[in-house]
Structure 1
């Protein structure tokens, strides 16, 4: 087994998102990519990307970059993000630079390019992963602050398929792991109650199974809705399912 095959196998055996992300950023650093940003959502809307708080976002960018780009919503005008919304595959940032120079970008897209330049983010590649539904979207941006775009393109000509494979296997593993987005995590009891309701049980059924009164079960459901920042129990079940929070092994 080659070193690459051994590493790919190790990725598929990871059960912690934190460990997997640490492994991936270290691996990408060996190619020169020191800033990476992964984003995945299964809750896109027909008219846009949906609420960023419902997406899984992993970033190694500096905090001041994330504050404006992510929290400030600048990412919505990013040329690579817009491309990834309707395309699958990889794209060199040289294509975006050419669009900028030739005036093919919107004012918002140009503003993102200028923002990146101020932060020294000028060389990289983007990957948009295959989607399984109209509501899903998954991609990763790889930036190399100590390389030129010509250097990145030359690297990609030699190692692009290998890098794409590493990112795809990591992405598929991420999709199988539990995660939370914002707010407080579900407690074991809140998750258990949601699981039982998801299995088709009524509040009265759940109360009987757990040996509690219905009012206590309603309280757990209300707290679960608050933790997941949704209005209904059906929405809570959908969101917890999307985040792979159901039927988890407890340490």
Structure 2
């Protein structure tokens, strides 16, 4: 088995989104990318990813857990974010420098570009994943190690770019098939169960009998689920929970027996 196939196998075999992310990060280091950032949304609007709390994000940039949202908020201000929102495929960060040289960046993009360079984020590549729905968007930003230049990364990409894209796409498809963690309070097991029964067309009375609780307690679970997901109706809660693969999920990530 080739090294690339071994890496793909490890990504596909990972049992949690965090494990998938760990495998991709390890696979990309030999190519010269020592920091990476991934973001995905199902609430895309014109030039926007929607509510940042509903963006699925993973990062190796931050030194502390929970910084994924902060890194994603910064990426949204960069020139490469504009490229991602208008294109699919891969692009060198050289594109941003070319836009800067032509005076085509917005003031916010210039400020983000300058801050990135001061922080040592000087060279890299970005992949914008092609999505089947108009409301969906996902991207992977790969930051070159300090000893790399954009010229060296571009030369490497000309030879190994297709392999990297396949690794990244494998990660993306795997993560999108798993229960996704977003920047909101998690549903409790009982809240999730109540939503699952609603999704199957059960009434509050039906659910109360099935779960062995009162109809009032069913309504409480559904109300708290709506609050967790920041929606107004139970139908919206079911839709959003399904969007994040939270319904009928295997909470342990263990394989079927």
State the TM bucket, normalised to the shorter chain.
Answer: over 0.9
Residue in 2 that maps onto 1:78: 78
Task: Determine the structure 2 residue equivalent to 1:200.
Answer: 201
Contact preservation (8 Å) 1:46, 1:135: no
Q: Secondary structure at the match of 2:31?
A: coil
The 5 A counterparts of 1:1-251 are 1-46=1-46, 48-62=48-62, 70=70, 73-146=73-146, 147-251=148-252
Q: Deviations 1:174-197 (Å, cap 9, x if unpaired)?
A: 110112212321121111110000
* Aligned-partner SS, 1:77: coil
Unaligned runs of 5+ in 2: 253-257
Asked if the contact 1:198/1:237 (under 8 Å) is kept, the reply is yes
Partners in 2 of 1:233 and 1:35 — Cα distance? 39
What TM-score does the superposition give when structure 1 sets the normalisation length?
0.93
- What are the superposed Cα offsets for residues 136-162 of structure 1, whole Å, 9 maximum, x if unpaired? 001000001321111110110111111
Higher mean alpha-carbon deviation, 44-53 vs 147-156, is at: 44-53
Note the residue ranges of structure 1 that are not aligned, 5 or more in a row: none
Q: How many residues align?
A: 250
- TM-score, normalised to structure 2, is 0.90
Offset, 1:231: 2.5
Evaluate the alpha carbon distance shift between residue 105 and residue 238 of structure 1 in structure 2; reply closer, same or farther with a 3 A threshold: same
Secondary structure, aligned partner of 1:85: helix
Shift in alpha-carbon separation, 1:218–1:175, aligned structure 2, 3 A: same
Q: For residues 108 and 69 of structure 1, what CA distance do their matches in structure 2 show?
A: 19
Deviates more, 1:138-147 or 1:228-237: 228-237
Cα offset, 1:24, TM superposition: 1.1
Measured after TM superposition, the shift of residue 67 of structure 1 is: 6.6
Distance 1:69 1:17, change over 3 A: closer
3-state DSSP of counterpart to 2:126: strand
Root-mean-square deviation (Å): 2.1
Q: Secondary structure at the match of 2:108?
A: helix
Q: Which residue of 1 aligns with 2:255?
A: none
Using the alignment, how far apart are the partners of 2:46 and 2:141 within structure 1?
A: 23
